[in-house]
Amino acid sequence: MVTEAAVWAIFLLPLGSFVLIALVIRPFLNRWPLLAAVSTIGALTAATVLAALTLRSVILGHTAVFPTWEWLSLGGATIEMGLLVDPLTAVMLVVVTSISLLIQIYSVGYMQGDPGFARYFAYMSLFTASMLGLALSSNIVQLYAFWELVGVSSYLLIGFWHERPLAAAAAKKAFIITRIGDVGFLIAILYLFLKADDFAAAGLNAFHIPDIWQAAQPLAAGGAILAGGALTWMALGIFAGAAGKSGQFPLHAWLPDAMEGPTPVSALIHAATMVAAGVFLVARFYPVFQQSDNAMAVVALVGAFTAVMAATMGLVMNDIKRVMAYSTVSQLGYMMAALGMGAFAPAIFHLVTHAIFKALLFLGAGSVNHASGTFDMRYMGGLRRYMPATYLLVVIAALSLIGIIPLAGFWSKDEILLGAWDGNSHLAVWMNRATFISLLAGVALTAFYTVRMVMLTFYGQFRGGIEQESADAGAGGAGEEAAAVHGPAAHGPEEGEGESHQGHSAGGHSGGVHLAESPLVMVAPMAVLGVGAVVAGYVINPQWIDFLGVPVHWITGFVADGLLAATGGEGHAELPEFNWAIAGISTAAAVGGAVLGLAVYGTRLGRPEQDGRAREPLRLLGPVYTLLSQKYYVDALYEGLIVRRGFYRIFAGLMNWLDRRIVDGAVDLAGWFFRNLGSAVGRLQTGQTQAYATAVALGALLIILGFLLAS
């Protein structure tokens, strides 16, 4: 049984580390930046232990209800901060603390020598604290607060190398796009306060999350304060926030750009934890979503569409981190689709396994970058010979992502597909089928792009790394001729990315090529994640028999029971049994995609080394390739057309013109009129304040006299 103080400490330890670094270590002890790492890692070690204890306590059934602390008293309701520790939170706490801890250790090696070393660990501490606070919040305003703090930590870390224009722009883009979603979230909160009196009449608090669950239940269960169309809109508002954070279409455009941050940041924030916060948010308010079929349908369809769309873009990216970024968007789509289909527990299960193998993949990309100096896979190749450990671990993570039995990703993805197949009985049949087919197609696409990534990076001949890339960029003068070398088709798609590479190399802390395995401090955390990526799927959720003392369907049962309890039910939730047919179909899709990938990239077709860079066989797709590598022109639409031209140039420009010419112009015109009137009448235009004041006072008296006479 954990105490309240222990649970608060999970959040307060990393926060304390942030304060310590920001106020003491960076200003006064910056000569020993390693202190910052020690502070962060120490705090997270303790937090991990406490999180594990909390999980144990929840498993043992100690459903502790902690007191709340009044933060702000409004007219009609109070905002009370508190802790909500249920199975979902407990799982989330363990995932966030343990993965964050491993990534901080890795960062000691990766960030070594960076002038912002201490600042980096300060931001990482702030992020981890915010994420833990988010998971622990018992109040929707508190949750929103940490939600935004997570966003700002992400902003600070994407823009960590703020002297790089691309990093600064990507940070801004991430914050603004997620904020568009947050408008919906905030309005949902406003709506809750609108209903505060009804909540109070039922003895509930409109901001307290378990009370919101209850208010959404049907009348028979003592709820119905939130119901009907308003409930749907509120759920969709929350989903808008979730879609922003989790990079769901149409708010996905920020996530690939977020890769401008240091790679461990991408691993922790933009792959394993923060982006999963959107999934967590929907899961947190799942009892509300369950009451609205329309909201569930939107979640399912948006998730399924995102899963496929992002995967197709992942096919053609040349930047290894961008492949992984689209992969992340796609996998988050799986989780959302699962939630929309009513497969609550599989979504959380996949959140856990994905956090492990995707963090590992990103750390692998960082390790590869450490050796080659670049993130452009066209300049990699053959790295398996130089960094066997990284190679092995990335392959494990890749197989896990593809969903090959018996690795972790297989089990969780299989449960999602099973959930989609069984379907949400409240949705139309075509929605079930469309979701299932999309997710299945996504499996094949995932396998293809993952194999492509592994082949381009680790197989064939080494293609020169950052040195070759700089040479190409330098020879081409802003990359124009470099693109021309590879044929005219390359011209368009490569312009954008060419810039990006210069960004990486310009301020690169790992400049230069030194083909060797990364240091132990980086490889060891990867190895731990590698073990997880292999076994986690079966160990935390055994399928047929209890395994190592873990009962069958442990994690899915655990969180599903938690959901059942939240909606006022008792006992155990029903869980679907392993389905051989689904497993067979998904494995066939995965193997099919992988074999196709091998056929293309494992042969001479995919990697003739004579011209230094890999030739891209997918270019044969012609316009389809262009469309994909232009990201369906979504960025061009958002940034070029809507924001830059439509909003900034035309709309804001017009408003600005109106302000100066019309609104202010009227003032100047009036001033001109009176000045000339004044000089005609007499010497009123003295420029003396007293004279004006006298005139005004006289005028005022005249007005009063007028009133007096009139009345």
Enumerate binding residues for another protein (CB under 8 A): 70-76, 141, 144-146, 148-149, 152, 155, 159, 162-165, 167-169, 171-172, 175-176, 179-180, 182-183, 186-187, 189-191, 193-194, 197, 648, 651-653, 655-656, 659, 663-664, 667, 671, 689, 692-693, 696-697, 699-700, 703-704, 707-708, 711
**Nearest alpha-carbon partner for 585 in 421, 397, 450:** 421
User: Quick one: 516 or 703, whose CB is closer to another protein?
Assistant: 703
Closest C-alpha to 181, from 151, 219, 158: 151
CB 265, min distance to another protein, A: 17
Residue number with CB closer to another protein (641 or 663): 663
Pick 83 or 402: Cβ nearer another protein: 83
d(CA 420, CA 515): 45
Alpha carbon dihedral 84, 85, 86, 89, in 10-degree steps, equals: 90
Q: Closer to another protein at the Cβ: 154 or 412?
A: 154
Cα(411)–Cα(81) distance, integer angstroms: 37
Closer residue to another protein, CB minimum distance, 206 or 416: 206
What residues does 83 pair with on adjacent strands?
A: 137
When the beta carbons of 168 and 404 are compared against another protein, the nearer one is 168
The least distance separating another protein from the CB of residue 74, rounded to whole angstroms, comes to 5
Q: How far is Cα 212 from Cα 226, in angstroms, rounded to an integer?
A: 8
Q: Which of 134, 235, 141 is nearest to 193 (CA)?
A: 141
Nearer to another protein, 70 or 546 (CB): 70
155's CB contacts (< 8 A; 6+ apart) are: 171, 172, 174, 175
CA atoms of 289 and 286, how far apart (whole Å): 5
CB of 242 to another protein, least distance (A): 17
- Return the number of the residue (76 or 388) whose C-beta is nearest another protein: 76
As measured in angstroms, the least distance from the Cβ of 231 to another protein is 16
How far, in Å, CA of 522 to CA of 439, rounded?
A: 34
CB closer to another protein, 162 vs 491: 162
Whole-number Å distance between alpha carbons of 494 and 74: 54
Residue 223 and residue 212 in contact, taking contact as beta carbons nearer than 8 Å: no
**Widest pairwise Cα distance in the chain:** 103
Q: Kindly tell me which of 233 and 547 has the beta carbon lying closer to another protein.
A: 233
Q: Please, what is the minimum distance in Å from the beta carbon of residue 194 to another protein?
A: 5
Task: Return d(Cα 27, Cα 392) in angstroms, integer.
Answer: 41
85's tokens: 């520790």
550 φ, ψ (degrees, to nearest 5): -90, 130
Of the pair 164, 413, the CB lying nearest another protein is at: 164
Q: Which CB atom, from 78 or from 461, has the smaller least distance to another protein? A: 78
Provide the minimum distance between the beta carbon of 178 and another protein in the complex, in angstroms, as a whole number.
9
Q: How many helices (H) and strands (E) does the chain have?
A: 31, 2
Q: Report the alpha-carbon distance of residue 268 to residue 700 in Å, rounded.
A: 67
| Residue 506 CB, nearest approach to another protein (Å) | 9
Minimum CB separation of residue 424 from another protein in Å reads: 30
- HSE-up of 313 (CA within 13 Å, CB side)? 28
Minimum distance between the CB of residue 152 and another protein, rounded to whole angstroms? Answer: 6
* Amino acid found at 335: M
List the end-to-end C-alpha distance of the chain, in Å, as a whole number. Answer: 79
In the complex, minimum distance from the CB of residue 692 to another protein, in angstroms, rounded to a whole number: 6
Where do the H-state alpha helices sit in 246-387?
Answer: 254-257, 263-267, 277-284, 286-289, 293-314, 320-340, 344-372
* Strands 77-81 vs 69-74: parallel, antiparallel or unpaired: antiparallel
What is the distance of C-alpha 537 from the center of its chain? 23
Nearer to another protein, 126 or 309 (CB): 126
CB of 647 to another protein, least distance (A): 8
Q: How far is the CB of 596 from another protein (least distance, A)?
A: 42
Q: How far apart are CA 627 and CA 634, in angstroms?
A: 10
CA distances from 307 to 327, 362, 651, 705 (A): 8, 19, 34, 75
H/E element holding 436?
helix 429-458
Query: Residue 77 in 3-state DSSP?
Result: strand
Exposure string of 655-678, with b = 16+ CB inside 10 Å and e = fewer, is eeeeeeeeeeeeeeeeeeeeeeeb
CB of 193 to another protein, least distance (A): 5
Nearer to another protein, 172 or 486 (CB): 172
Cα–Cα distance for residue pair 48/56, rounded to 1 Å? 12
Least distance (Å) from another protein to the CB of residue 278?
17
For the CB of residue 171, give the shortest distance to another protein in the complex, in Å: 8
Q: What angle do CA 287, 414, 291 make, to 5 degrees?
A: 15
Q: Which is nearer to another protein, 145 or 560 (CB)?
A: 145
